[in-house]
Amino acid sequence: MISLSLYNGHNAAICIIKNGEIILNWELERFSRIKHDYGFNQKFFNKSLELCNLKFEDIDFIITNKQCYKRNPPWKVPSTNDVNCVEFKIKNKPAIALNHHLCHVSSSYFTSPFKEATIITQDGGGDSENFSVATAVDNKIKSFETRIVTNIADWWSSITLNNFRMKRIHKWDPGSGAGKIMALAAYGQPSDKIENLIKKTMKLGPSKKYTDKRASAFNYDEDLSNDKSERSKDVSASLQSITEKELKKIYDDIYKIYPNNNLCLAGGIALNCVANSRVKSNFKKLHIPPFPNDTGLAVGMGLYHWHVILNNEKNTNFFSPYLGPSYNSLQTLKAIKKNNFIIKRLLKFEKKLNFEKSSIEKISDYLSERKIICMFRGRSESGPRALGHRSIMCVPDSERGRDYLNFKIKKREWYRPYAPIILDKYVNEILNDYITNSPYMTTSAYINENWRKKLDAVNHIDNSTRPQILKKDHDPFLYKLIESVYSKTGIPVLLNTSFNKQEPIVETPYNALNTFRKFDIDFLVLNDFIIKK
């Protein structure tokens, strides 16, 4: 059984599953190189089949969701506004259309380590609603209901667009700056006065007078683009405070109806790492997938088909996020040779003899000298966050820390923090108030006082951080690398940020080389090659 899941909305993605194994899951933006790209793209569709050595005739089942974009697929998809699942056909192949929030539910529960759970999804909207709650036991989604609640996700997008003057990337982009001002919130102080003004003015809706006429605005489009002003910081902090209060009320109410030890979250709101950790109500364990936003809808569709429709058992082991394409040594070498300028003028490269053993030492030596490296290896990560396969890394006590990375390398806002990868056996010593199951950088924690100087580059202004807690079976190579760094520095942690520069995360070896040459970074791990400028 081979299924293909296709989500054509904002953050479009494709997932292909063969006999229960995800053989490919990736986002359109990684292929098109347009952030948060949307709609049906025939070349992306064809490339996905090619990467899996498949033809369209090999696909047994298609799962999708109706979207109202001009870039629609060349077949008609039924609406799921009023129904959860609709059967139809695509070129004589059996197909189903699934409700937007049911796909979110599936993406979270079926990737979790839980046999039973309460699942909550919340976002800016999908299939005319922006919230759902479900329960699941032993592979079965027992209940599922959608509703409309206060659209906090839309508030984040709208305030970012209008008040902070962060433009849309493209027409259908709802505003890509929400994650940015979440970081700014730690610098401000929330107040009841600002919170009440946010609630009052955001409920007025869009206006032609606003900077972005399709979005709501705080205080009639007040200009908060000066992110160093106390006003901008305090509005961010107040919006974060409202979010946590709203979520607390929702989670408390849901727990009364569906009491459970385990909570699964999905939807754009679940990208708010601070809220995820602070607001758990009475739920004791938490799971958020590596793709809680719409990047996870395609994989959610495929998992729903495999587990619910075909009634296959759920796996409760670690769900690996490394589901994108991989590139072999010949493809990598071809990309290196194609970059003739880099080969001749900038790079010396050496082919691996025994990469696993010899290169870990070489890479950890370089890191231990407090130098920054680019890491490209194996299959790319699914979801919006780099988790060690398409990453920029350094030891977090380096003098060339956060400011250097923000201003010189990534060209990001001054206040944006970086995240650590921490070996599981040291996490209790390093962090407090952390979520034990946090392998995808979807939660926050606080750094213990005696570790703050050593982890300066990943320590936010409020001593919080967004950890990826790594176990050996998650990624043995990365685990051994950090162990080697620890033996040389006494720090079992690496700063990890996405390998990109004002673009989607690099996907191919060619992307990696092209971006690497723009950086003041001298060392690139490119699959089986180590490349130095």
Fold topology of 2-106+292-309: Nucleotidyltransferase; domain 5 (3.30.420)
Calpha distance 181→350 (Å, rounded): 42
Three-state SS across 356-390? HHHHHHHHHHHHHCCCCEEEECCCCECCCCCCCCE
Query: Which 3 state secondary structure label does DSSP give 456?
Result: helix
Matching fold, domains 2-106+292-309 and 112-288: yes
Give residue 337's pLDDT: 84
| DSSP per position, 40-75 | --HHHHHHHHHHTT--GGG--EEEE----SSS--SS
77-82 contacts: CB < 8 A, separation 24 or more? 79/127, 80/127, 81/127, 81/128
Which pLDDT score, from 0 to 100, does residue 485 have?
98
The pLDDT assigned to 399 comes to 87
Residue 351 CB neighbours (<10 A)? 11
Q: Which residues of the chain have pLDDT under 70?
A: 340-355
pTM: 0.95
Please classify residue 5 by burial: count the beta carbons closer than 10 Å to its beta carbon, then call 0-12 exposed, 13-18 middle and 19+ buried.
Answer: buried
Domain borders along the chain are: 2-106+292-309, 112-288, 329-532
> How many Cβ atoms sit within 10 Å of the Cβ of residue 99?
25
Residue-level pLDDT at 347: 53
3-state SS, one letter per residue, for 98-146: ECHHHHHHHHHHCCCCCCEEEEEEEEEEECCEEEEEEEEECCEEEEEEE
Look up residue 376 and give its two tokens.
Answer: 């490209």
> Is the separation of the CB atoms in 163 and 222 below 8 Å?
yes
Superfamily of domain covering 329-532: Carbamoyltransferase, C-terminal domain (3.90.870.20)
The residue behind tokens 């940015």 is 180
Q: What is the pLDDT of residue 352?
A: 47
pLDDT at 345: 47
* Phi, psi of 68, deg, nearest 5: -110, 55
Give the CA radius of gyration of the chain. Answer: 23
| Domain 112-288 bears CATH identifier 3.40.50.2300 | no
pLDDT at 533: 81
**Sign of the torsion angle spanned by Cα atoms 163, 169, 174, 176:** negative
